[in-house]
Every structure is written in C-alpha cells, then in structure tokens.
A and B are shown apart, each in its own frame.
Chain A
Amino acid sequence: MDIALSVVGVVKRFGGVTVLKGVSLSVAKGSIVSLLGPNGSGKTTLLRIVAGVLRPSSGEVVFRGGLMSYLPQELGLFKELSGWDNILFYARLYGLDKGYVLKRGKELLEKLELLNYAKAPVAKYSGGMARKLSLAIALLPDADLYVLDEPTTGLDPSSRRSVWELIEELKRSGKSVLLSTHYMEEAERLSDYVYLIHKGSIVAEGTVEELKKRYAPRTAIELHLYGDAKKAVGILKERGFDAYAYGDAVAKVYSASPREEVPKLISALYESGVYVKLLNIAEPTLEDVFIRLTGERLGE
C-alpha cells in the first residue's frame, strides 16, 4: 500500500498545555481518511501541522507527493471581493493555469450551486455559501492530498450531500483525502479508514466496520430519562448492564439481546425511582464506538 502521508508521534504544546500527545496516523494513496473527534480534541491543530502552518513540538510529518491543498476551519476569504475574485486569488497563489482555473472553478461552483453568485461580494453570502466557496477553493488545485478541516460544518443536509459527492469524486480520481469531522454520518459514509481522536490522543483506528465490530458489537439502546443519567447508569451497572451516561438525562446501554434486556433495565430503573421518557433501539454507529471508548459524545 502506497502511503501519501505519515504522521509519526506528533506532540504539540502551547505554553504549558499539551494539545497533541504523540499522534501517529497515515493516509494511503487514493483513500479517504477521517479524523473523528469532538470539538477541542486536537483535530484542527493536527491538520494545521499536516498543512505546514504549525510546527510540531516533536514528531514528524512526512508527505510523499507533489501538491497538498488545505481547507482551514476558518473561511479564509476576502469578504469585500467576489466569490470568483477569491478563487482567482488562491489560483494565483498556487500558480494555476488560467484555462484550468476557468474550467475547474466553474465546475466546482456549479456543483456547489454558487455559479449564479460568483460575481457577488462574499460579504453578501450566507454562512453556508461562504463555507462552500471556501471548500471550492480548497478543491481547486489538482492536488495529491486534500486536507479538509470539517468541510461540512454549518451546511444544510442537501449541501452536505453535494460536498460528500465531491469528496468521493476526488477518491475516484485517485486523490488522497484527510478530513476531520465530528459528524459520525460523514465519517461512516466517506471513510476508508477512521482515526478516533480524544483529548489529543488517537483512541482507536480502523475501518468503520472494524471499529464497530471491535468496540460496539452490540445493539445500542438509547434512554432519555426523567432524572439524572449518571444515577441511572450507576443503577444499571450494578445490575450488570453495559451502560454509559452522556448529557444530563441521556444514557446508552449496549446489549447483545435487547428483546430480553429492555424490560429488565426499565424495571430496574423504575424500582430505583428513575423513569424512562423515551427509548430508542438502533444498530451501533461510530458515535457508539466513541462513547464506549471515551464515555463522551462526538457532538452535534
């Protein structure tokens, strides 16, 4: 397997705070690799190091390829300029050919439904439109590796799907993608390989199926409670349930035989004075993997 990018033992300290604690990962050529973790887990810092914006305190980043294109979390646009002027600006920085920019730029704007607004100043764009323009700029160069920091944050579901299609197109054309996200659906749909990051460390890695199989093999039962989730989890753990609390009034229980165990856990809670408002039984997701590993949710 050809490796496009290797990150080896990267540590990053800001003052006395260690934000990344020896992170290692690799991106195979022609694959999409996701960095999945909640806000504040160190995803952006890691991607800034990969993009060459920050120097690691220790460790190294090895990029084997010609061109890397980076989508930062901030929009990075000139608000007073039109969308097209912004594209031209970054095209000049990358030294792109005019004919190529005209073709590829229009194609991206069309796919992201921005072509009609290309000449309007970015200041008049909605947040979602500006985000899509920022992504179009990142996808403009014919790069070998695309480093995308939360590419769909702030987009509506329809736009999010358009972006996913564009990222999948990149993969089909043999490009490598490293993206960060806190949306588990995004990671599940796009990723060939996933790294779960929590508090500056990689807590698990593998394909989506591997991760689910290894860390969340059982059915997830989500309980919305009239009462304290931590108290409920305590009660359930005493009775031998694999239970986790997240939020003030939500708990998750993982079970191999939900049909038998659901009545038992409701009874156990009822007897202890904790009442169930809503119960949801679903196949495990990457978020369940994350909850089981960290006891925390991914986010939104």
Chain B
Amino acid sequence: MRLGKALAIAIADFKSLWRERVVVFWCIVWPVIMVILGAYIFTPPEVGSRVMFIVGVANFDGGFKNITLATWFNTANTSLADLLKESSVGQLLVDILKNMSDFKVIEYNSTEKLFADLEKARLDIGIIIPSNFSKEIAFGTARLCVYVSGDDPREVQINKGFAQGFFYQFSKEVAVNKVKAIVKSFELFGGNYTEVFIPEINMTVKEVVNRSLMGLANPVDVIVEEKTPQAIADRPFIIGWYTIGAIGMSMLYSGLTFGAIAVVIEKEMGRLDRMISAGVRASDLFLGKTLSAIIMMLIASITIVLAGLGVGARILWSPLNPRDWLMPLNIFLALLMTTSIGFALSLTVKSSRAASSLGTILGLLLSFTSGIWIPKFMLPQPLKVFADVFPVTWAIDTVRAVMIYNEELSNLITMQIKVIIATAALMVLGIVAYRKTIAKYVEI
C-alpha cells in the first residue's frame, strides 16, 4: 500500500517532468549535444591519427667536393675519384624530409615567400638551407635555419618540439657520417699503419680510432618511445570518456534540480495538501520523487550512451561480466547522492523557479569543476583537489574505470566502498534536510 502511493507519485511526477521541455532539454538534449560536441569539436576526427607536418624548404646549398660528403653517399669499395665527386647535403636533407611519412614538403626558391607562408601559419616548419651548408658540414659546424609556426601557441610548441627532435637526430646522423669519413680518410691515407694490431686491447689501430670517434659522435644512445594511455590517445575512447561525462552532467542537473524542487513545487501547485490528506507520508513523497528521478536518469543514460555510440564512442559493457554491473550501480548511487544534495538545497529556496535555477546553475558548475566533464589533469590545482574529494566524481570515475579503462574488479573495490559510504552519508543529510523542508511548509 505504501509502495503503491510512492509509485503513484513516481509515475505522475515522471510523466509531468517528461512533458516539461526544459527538463527534457537539460536532462537529455543538452548532454547529447555535449557528446556530439565532444566527438566533433573537442575530439576532432584527426585526434589519434598520425600528425602531418607541413614543411617548407628553401635550399640554397651549392654542394661541395669532399670525402666527408662522399662517404655519406658511397659507403664502400669506391675509388678516390668517385669519393671526391661533388655532393649536396642540402639536397640530401630535402630528400630525407620528402621521404618521411609525417612530412608534406613544399620547396621554395625565395626566403621571403617561405617567411610569408610561415607568418600566415600555412607552414608548420620552415627550413632555410644556406649556400655553403655542405662545405660547412665537411669542415666545421654547419648552420641551418629552422622556423616554426602554428595556429595557436600550443600548436607552435608541438611543432617546435617536433622540429627539435628531428634535427637532433639529423645532427647525430651527420656526426656519425663525419666519423665514418675520418675513418675512411685514415684508411685511404694511413696505409699499413691502420692495420697494426695492438694485442693489449685485441684491436687494430683502425678499430681503436673508429670506436673512439663513434663514441664521440653518439655518446649516449637514448631511446624515447611514446607510451600514451590508450583512453587518451584513441578517439573512440576519448568520446567514450565524454559520454560518461555527459551522463554525469545529466545526473548532476537532474539530481540537484529534482531534489531542490521536490517539495516546493508540490506546495506551489497545491498538491501537497491533497497528498497529505490522502495519507501520503513524507517517506512516500521522498521515495516517489527519487524513483521518478531514477526513471528519468535511466532514459537519459540510455539515450546518452546510444548517442555516444552513434558518434563513435568505444564503450565496454557486458551483462555477463559481474564487474560491469558496477556501472548501473554507480549511476544509481551518483543519482542518490545528487538528489540528496538537491534535498539539502531545498532548504535554501522559496520557490520552484529559484530551485530550478539553483539546480541548473550548480549542476553545470559542478560538471565543469569536478572532473566530470573536464578531465582532472586539465583542471587548476584547487579544482583538482575538489575533484578528488567530490564523491559524485568517485562514482563517475568508477563507471569510467569499468566502461572505458576496463579496470580489474579487484582494483575497484576500495573506491566502490568509498562511493557507498559517501552515498549513505549524503542520503542521511538529504533526508534530514527534506524533512525540514516539508516541516517548513506543512506541519505533519
């Protein structure tokens, strides 16, 4: 009988909310819009794909006749005449750039045009190879002018980092080849002396020279490899992350608003008196209102997930995996938490309009500041601290751990216990606040 009253309230309240366009907009349409924005604006299709750099090159290098360069082009068994042929390292650099899959190379014959395109951000990287580049590589230190551009400071930083990395590697290659050239010269002009065997170190003189110089050219062989978390690197996972964020956003709005408005709207519409006279208790109203919010959130969550899948989100969920049931559990717990906070807010409002505005504003604010919509690593330090202690974020993080990061069940138990305790604590707060709100309007 008591459950019957709560169910009656839940059904009527849900039908009423469902026909309220503003509620449907904030609960369902807005989060779906955010998922679509997340997919196409915050995570454009090129995210996760290979980056293409547009490189402009103005090559003025005239080449040079020298064995240092010749060894670069001809590695073994060549005559002295062959080795002294004119070679251009500048052209070699251009060819290397052209062969790199990450680079689209545009050649320029004037520095002005190259600078103009850099200033218009048509190029990511601009390279000017001076006329004596090959000569300076052969004898001394060659100078190469590299310029970076970009649409925004972040892109400039990325382009700069990439250019530095490339030319660091190129510089090392040059050093290695210079060593090879020195050894080759030594071999050509040193005669038998190069083959003298040194028994103490079990090496010939040529081997000693080769190894020592090679060590100078490449003293430390650093291997830097990218190991980015899959969820950050992969676009479908990023959209999945945002999809869960959109569910959290909807939950914050609906829980806070429905909780804050629950009693005051019944009072304003004159239904509260009628319900009480029909034997409805405060607990029936509490349960009915919470059930109504749960039905709305269930529909909102399914719609948001479908929208996410529609725009390419990769979401992992299997009803056969017991761990995956943490997802609906945590959505439910998060809703209980937000509704309880909403009931606490109801103490501060005097009209349904005020309650609705407060719920909407606070819901949006919390979405953007608690790590639910904006990733925690992008938040300023004080908000990171807030996001770490906000229990609704714990629940949403657990949902992400299940549906996005495929986390092991054993790794989620501690967090799950925290979420359950926080929900219980907030519900106690919500029920106390709710009873006080009822008492404010009627005396039952």
Give chain A's interface residues, CB within 8 Å of chain B.
Answer: 48, 51-55, 68-70, 72-81, 85-86, 89-90, 92-95, 121, 137, 147
Tell whether, in the assembled complex, residue B19 and residue A70 are in contact, meaning their CB atoms are under 8 Å apart. Answer: no
Are A68 and B277 in contact, with the CB atoms below 8 A?
yes
- Complex CA distance for A45 and B11, rounded to whole angstroms: 30
Whether a CB of chain A sits under 8 angstroms from the CB of B271 is yes
Within 8 A of A (CB), among B311-359: none
* Inter-subunit contact B270/A75 (CB<8 Å): yes
Q: Tell me which of B19, B273, B278, B443 contacts A93 (CB under 8 A).
A: B278
Check if B429 is an interface residue, CB within 8 A of chain A.
Answer: no
Q: Which residues of A have CB within 8 Å of B442? A: 53-54
Interface contact A89-B273, CB-CB below 8 Å: no
B12 & A74 in contact (Cβ 8 Å cutoff): no
- By a CB distance below 8 angstroms, the chain B residues around A95 are 1, 4
Residues of A within 8 A of B209 (CB): none
Contact A93 B276 (CB under 8 A): no
Looking at B271, B275, B280, which has the most chain A CB atoms within 10 Å of its CB? B271
Which of A52, A74, A78, A89 is the one whose CB lies under 8 Å from B276?
A52
Q: Which residues on A sit within 8 Å (CB–CB) of B9?
A: 93
From A72, A86, A93, give the contact of B5 (CB < 8 A).
A93
B85 at the interface (CB under 8 A from A): no
26 CB-based A-B contacts, threshold 8 Å = A51-B276, A52-B276, A53-B273, A53-B276, A54-B443, A68-B277, A69-B277, A70-B278, A73-B270, A74-B269, A76-B269, A76-B270, A77-B269, A78-B269, A78-B271, A79-B269, A81-B19, A90-B274, A92-B4, A92-B11, A93-B5, A93-B9, A93-B279, A94-B278, A137-B274, A147-B277
- Taking a contact as CB atoms under 8 Å apart, the answer to whether A77 and B271 are in contact is yes
CB within 8 Å of A: which B1-16 residues:
1, 4-5, 7-9, 11-12, 15-16
B273:A80 contact, CB within 8 angstroms: no
In the bound complex, residues from chain A placing their C-beta under 8 Å from that of B224 are none
Tally of contacts, chain A with chain B, CB under 8 A: 84
A56 → chain B closest CB, angstroms: 9
The interface size bin for chain B is 20 to 34
Interchain CB contact under 8 A, A72 and B273: yes
Given contacts A72-B273, A74-B273, A121-B19, contact A55 B278 (CB under 8 A): no
Tell me which residues across on chain A come within 8 A of B198, comparing CB atoms: none
A145 CB, min distance to chain B CBs, angstroms: 11
Let me know if B408 is at the binding interface, CB within 8 A: no
B201 within 8 A of A: no
Q: Is the CB of B5 within 8 A of A52?
A: no
B225 neighbours in A (Cβ, 8 Å): none
Q: How far is the CA of A275 from the CA of B8 in the complex (A)?
A: 63
What residues on B are CB-neighbors of A75 within 8 Å?
Answer: 269-270
Any A CB within 8 A of the CB of B378: no
Of B5, B8, B11, B277, which is within 8 A of A53 by CB? B277
For residue B12, which residues in chain A have a CB less than 8 angstroms away from its CB? Answer: 78, 81, 85-86, 89
Known contacts A92-B7, A93-B275: A81-B269 contact under CB 8 Å: no
Contact call A80/B15, Cβ cutoff below 8 A: yes
* Distance of A129 from chain B, by nearest CB (Å): 16
B444 CB–A CB distance under 8 Å: yes
Q: Which 10 A-B pairs have the closest CB atoms?
A: A74-B270, A92-B8, A70-B277, A80-B19, A76-B274, A76-B270, A51-B277, A93-B278, A89-B12, A55-B443
Q: Establish whether residues A70 and B20, one from each chain, have CB atoms under 8 Å apart when the complex forms.
A: no
A70 near B15 with CB under 8 A, answer: no
In contact, B270 and A72 (Cβ under 8 angstroms): yes
Query: Given A53-B442, A78-B12, A72 and B274 touching (CB < 8 A)?
Result: yes
- Output the least CB separation between A95 and chain B (Å): 6
Contacting pair B269 A89 (CB below 8 A): no
Minimum Cβ distance to chain A for residue B214 (Å): 82
A132 CB to nearest B CB, Å: 15
A236 vs B1: C-alpha distance when bound (angstroms):
65
Given contacts A53-B276, A93-B275, 8 further A-B contacts (CB under 8 A): A52-B444, A70-B277, A76-B270, A77-B269, A78-B15, A85-B12, A92-B4, A92-B11
Contact with A along B408-444 (1 / 0, CB 8 A): 0000000000000000000000000000000000111
Chain B residues in 8 Å Cβ range of A78: 12, 15-16, 269, 271
List chain B residues, Cβ under 8 A from A86: 12
A residues near B272, Cβ cutoff 8 Å: 53
Chain B residue at minimal CB-CB distance from A94 = B278
Chain B residues near A69: list those with CB within 8 A. 277
A123: shortest Cβ distance to chain B, in Å? 9
B350 to chain A, nearest CB (A): 16
Q: Kindly list chain A residues whose C-beta atoms are within 8 Å of the C-beta of B278.
A: 70, 90, 93-94
Which residue of chain A lies nearest to B441 when distances are taken between CB atoms in the complex? Answer: A53
> CB distance B274 to A70 under 8 Å?
yes
Q: B273 to A48, Cβ gap below 8 A? A: yes
| Alpha-carbon distance A147/B278, docked complex (angstroms) | 12
Q: Are A81 and B16 in contact (CB under 8 A)?
A: yes
Give Cα A52 to B11, complex, Å: 25
CB distance from B9 to the nearest CB of A (A): 8
Indicate if the CB atoms of B20 and A80 lie closer than 8 Å: yes
Q: Once bound together, how far apart are the Cα atoms of A178 and B49, in whole Å? A: 77
> Contact between A76 and B271 (Cβ–Cβ < 8 Å)?
yes
Min CB–CB distance A187 → chain B (angstroms): 23
Q: What is the bound-complex CA distance between A246 and B424, given in angstroms? A: 62
CA distance A212 to B4 in the complex (A): 49
From B15, B276, B278, B443, name the one whose CB has the most chain A CB atoms within 10 angstroms: B278
CA distance A74 to B441 in the complex (A): 14
Least Cβ–Cβ distance between B277 and chain A, in angstroms? 4
Q: Which residues does chain A contribute within 8 Å of B11, judged by CB atoms?
A: 89, 92
Which residues of chain B have C-beta atoms less than 8 A from A90's C-beta?
Answer: 274, 278
Q: Could you say which residues of chain B place their CB within 8 Å of the CB of A54?
A: 442-443
Nearest residue, chain A, Cβ from B270: A74
Given contacts A76-B274, A78-B15, is CB(A89)–CB(B8) below 8 Å? yes
Q: Are A80 and B4 in contact (CB under 8 A)?
A: no
What is the bound-complex CA distance between A72 and B271, given in angstroms? 9
